[in-house]
Structure 1
Amino acid sequence: MQASVVTERVRHVIEESGLAHGEFAARAGLDSSKMSKSLSGTRRFTSLDLANIAEVGGVSVDYLLGVQSPEPALAARAASKAEAVQSGAIEEARRIAKFRHDLDFVFQRQRPVAEIRPTRGGGYIKQGEALAEQAANLMSRADGQTVMDLESDIERVFGFDVARVPAGRDCDGVAWRDEHCAVIVVSTTDSATRQRFTMAHELGHLLAEDDQALHIDQDVMHAADKTEKRANVFAANFLMPASRLRRESKGWNSGEASDLDFAHLVMDLGVSPSALSWRLFNLGLASDFRRRQLATFNTARCASLAKRTKELAKWTKESQTRRPPFGLAADLLVAYDHGAITLRPFANLLEVDVDDVRSLLEQGGGGNTNAGKDDQDFEP
C-alpha cells in the first residue's frame, strides 16, 4: 500500500468529518504539527495514529489502508424471513468484527488454542456428535456436568466473541467468521432455553468451519439444510450429553424419568422440555408414549415441580438482558494498558462515556503510563 493512498484517505475522512485539521488531530490524540507532517509525507502515521483516526472518523483501519474487507461466512437462525437481513444481531456482529479488525492491527492478543478437528465423513449426525464430544472435553464437560454460563466459557475456551442484543422477534442469532474473528450474537428473549440452544447451534457452525453466506431458517429447532441439521445435532449432544442422561437414568425407579426427574433434568441442563423429551426418546431412555407426555410440559411447569422458580426467574432475566462481548472488552483493556490504544474504543464498545470509564479506572488504581505515546511506525 502506497503511503499516498493512506494520506489521501485520511484527508478524505477529515473533510467528511466537517472538523478543522487541528480539531480533528486533537480528537485523534495528535498535535497539529504531527498531523501536518504525516499528511505532507515527511512523517509516517503510526498504527496507533491510524486506529485513533479511524475511531474519530467513524471508519475502519482497513478503509484507511485501502484494504478490501473480506465477506464473512455468516449464518443466521430466524423465526421468520421478514426483515431478518436487517436484524440487530447481524449489525452487532458487524460492529464487533470491526472492533476486532482494528484491534488486531495495533495489538496482537493471545488467542486460546482449542484443538478441534471437524469430521468430514460419516454423515452429518456422526459429524455433529464427534464435534460435540470434542467441545465437551475442551470445556471440562466430559463428566457430563452442565456449563450454565455458556457465553463466558465459549469466550474463554475458543476465543470467540459472544454477545446478546435485542434483535427483534425475526432473528434468533447469527454466527460470523472472518480472518480476524469468530462471533456469536443471540437475540435477547423471554425463552432462555431457546436462546441457549441457539448459542450452542451457532457454536456448532463455527467449530464445523461452515463457510456459508447468510442462511435463514424459519425455525431453529427444525432445520432442512445439512449444515443446519449438523449444528442441531451438535447442540443436542453438547447440551444434553448421552453419558449424563444414561447415568441419570440409572436412578429412575420405573426405568423412565418421573415427572420430577424430568423437571430437574430440564433445569439442570438448561434445555426445553420438548428438546429433552426427544433426546431421551432418541437415546432409548423414553418410550414414544412417554416422550409425548413429557413434550406437553413447559419450562415454567418444570421449575415449579422442581421448586426452582427463583432459578428460572434469574435465568430468564439474564436472557432478556443485553450482554456485550466481554472477551473483546478485556482485550481492549489489555491493549490500552500496553499503550496500544486509547480508552475510547473500550468505551464505545460498551456504549458508555469515556470520561466515566477513565474516572472508574483511576478510582480503582488502573490506567497506564504509556497512553498517548507513539508506537512503532506503520509501514505502508
Structure 2
Amino acid sequence: MSFDRAAFADKIRRSMEHLDVEDNEVVASTGIPDARFAVLRAGGADPTGDEVLILADYFDCDYKFFISNERLAAFEETDSLYRKHGDLFSKSDRRSLQQFLYLCECESWLWKSNAYRSDSFHFSPQGSNFKRQGQTAASALRVHFGYQDDQIPSDLFRDLRKLGIHVFRRKLENSSISGVMIRHPEAGRCILVNYDEDVYRQRFTAAHELAHALMEDSEFNVSLTRDGSNLMEVRANAFASHYLVPPAFARAVLSRVATWDDTAITEWAKRLKVSTEVLRISLKDLGIIDNIIFDQLKGSRVPRHQKVDPEIGSETGRTRDRKLSLLQRGLSMHYVSECLEALDGGRISHARAAEMLMVREDEMGEIKALFTLTGTQ
C-alpha cells in the first residue's frame, strides 16, 4: 500500500488545531525548514523517517500514527471535546491533554503485551433519583471488589486500573477543571485528574470521573470544581462520597465520636483521605451531625502539607524530589514501573522506553536507579 500523503497532511493539520499552534511555532520547535514543512502540510511529498520521528515527538504521539493510513478515529473524541469545551483549555492544557492521551495509548499497549486482564464490572442506573443511583453504584462496586462494609479503599487508583481504566494526574493551567474522562477508541476509558488540586481532592476527582466512566455512554466528560446543578455531576458526587466514606463505616465508627469539632473532623478526614467538606456532607446526609454542627465545621481544613501523596509516601530529600518531578510530568509511579518492566523483559528498547516516559535517553539511568533504590518495581 502506498503512503497516503493526504492523510498524513490531515493528521498534521488536525494535530496543530488540537494544540492551537501555527506553522511558525512548529518550524521553530522542530527545526524543519519553513518551505519543507509547508510542502508536508500540503501533502506534496513523503516525509523522511527523521521528519516523522521529529513531528511525532513534537505532537506527543506514537510515530506509527503518522505513517499509518488509518488511525484517524482517535481525533474524533478530541475534536468533539474542543468543539464543546475549547474555551476551557489553554494552549498549555491542550498540550497536557495530548500527552495524557499518549500515555494512555502507551499503557494500553503495555497491558496488551503483558496479557493484563481487567475486571469486568457493569452497572445500569435504575429509577429517576440520580443521587441514589450514584450511591447504589458505589455500593455495588465495593461488593465487586470484596470490600467489607466498613473497609476504606486504600488505593483508589489501583481500583481504577483493575477495571481497565487508565488514570493519570497532570497539572492543568485552568484550576476550574477538576478532571476529564475520555473514551479513547483504542485505549478505552481514560481519566485525567488535575494535579494542581491537593491530593485529597484528586482522590475524590478520580472517584467522581470513575462514576462518569461507569454510568454514562458519553465520549467524554469535563468536571468543573463548581458544577453541582447538573444531575450527572450530582450522581458522580454521590458515588464518590459513598465509595470513599462508606455509610456502614460512618454509622459503625463515626457515629460514636463524642464531639464533632475542628480537631475531630480534621483527624478523621486525614484517616479517610478526604476533604473535611466531603466528610461533613457525608455526616450530615447520614444524620450523624445536625445543621448547626455542619455550619460550625465549615471552616475546618486539613493543612495541605499534612496531606501525603500516596505515590510519594514518606520519601524525603532527593528521592522525594525525583518522584515529584516524574509526577509533575504527568507520569504515575505505576506507569513508570510498567515501562521499566517491559524494558527489563526485552519487550521495548531503551529508546522506546524513553519515548514512552517522555524523557531524554540520558535520563533513563537515573530513573532506573531511583526505582531500584526504592523497590518500586
Taking only the aligned residue pairs, the percentage that are identical comes to 19
Question: Please, which of 169, 174, 182 is the counterpart of residue 180 of structure 2?
Answer: 174
Aligned to 1:376: none
| 1:281–1:287 CA contact under 8 A, matched in 2 | yes
Q: TM-score, normalised by structure 1?
A: 0.66
Decide whether aligned partners of structure 1 residues 231 and 213 sit closer, same or farther in structure 2, where only a CA change above 3 A counts.
same
Which piece of structure 1 moves more, 142-151 or 103-112?
103-112
1:270 is matched by which residue type in structure 2? K
Query: 2:306, 2:178 → 1: CA distance?
Result: 23
Aligned to 1:110: 115
1:142 is matched by which residue type in structure 2? Q
Query: 2:10, 2:217 → 1: CA distance?
Result: 38
| 1:239–1:269 CA contact under 8 A, matched in 2 | yes
Aligned to 1:243: 248
Gaps of 5+ in 1: 20-38, 40-49, 301-308, 366-380
Map residues 271-350 of structure 1 onto 2, 5 A cutoff.
Answer: 271-300=274-303, 311-312=306-307, 322=328, 323-337=330-344, 339-350=346-357
Query: 2:244, 2:80 → 1: CA distance?
Result: 20
Question: Please, which of 124, 133, 138 is the counterpart of residue 139 of structure 2?
Answer: 133
SS in 1 for 2:209: helix
Question: Please, which of 80, 94, 100 is the counterpart of residue 96 of structure 1?
Answer: 100
Cα deviation digits, residues 176-234 of structure 1 (max 9, x gap) = 222322222222236333222222211221122441455453x34x4222222111111
Map residues 37-56 of structure 1 onto 2, 5 A cutoff.
Answer: 55=53
Q: How far 1:87 moved relative to its partner?
A: 6.8
Aligned to 1:30: none
2:127 is matched by which residue type in structure 1? G
Count of residues in Structure 1 that have an aligned counterpart in Structure 2: 314
Query: 1:102, 1:4 → 2: CA distance?
Result: 27
Aligned to 2:269: 266
Q: TM-score, normalised by structure 2?
A: 0.67
Query: 1:74, 1:285 → 2: CA distance?
Result: 46
Aligned to 1:43: none
Decide whether aligned partners of structure 1 residues 284 and 55 sit closer, same or farther in structure 2, where only a CA change above 3 A counts.
farther
Which piece of structure 1 moves more, 353-362 or 57-66?
353-362
Query: 2:302, 2:122 → 1: CA distance?
Result: 35
Aligned to 2:160: 154
Give 1 or 2 for the bigger CA radius of gyration: 1
Aligned to 1:142: 148
Aligned to 1:226: 231
Q: How far 1:294 moved relative to its partner?
A: 1.9
- Structure of higher RCO (CA pairs closer than 8 Å, 6+ residues apart): 1
Aligned to 1:119: 124
1:269 is matched by which residue type in structure 2? L
Aligned to 1:187: 194
Query: 2:338, 2:52 → 1: CA distance?
Result: 19
Query: 2:5, 2:342 → 1: CA distance?
Result: 25
Q: Looking at secondary structure, tell me which structure has more helix per residue.
A: 2
| 2:276–2:301 CA contact under 8 A, matched in 1 | yes
2:184 is matched by which residue type in structure 1? D
Q: How far 1:243 moved relative to its partner?
A: 0.9
1:268 is matched by which residue type in structure 2? R
Aligned to 1:4: 2
RMSD (Å) for aligned C-alpha atoms: 4.3
Cα deviation digits, residues 240-288 of structure 1 (max 9, x gap) = 11011011135334xx645544332211112222221121111111111
Which piece of structure 1 moves more, 198-207 or 230-239?
198-207
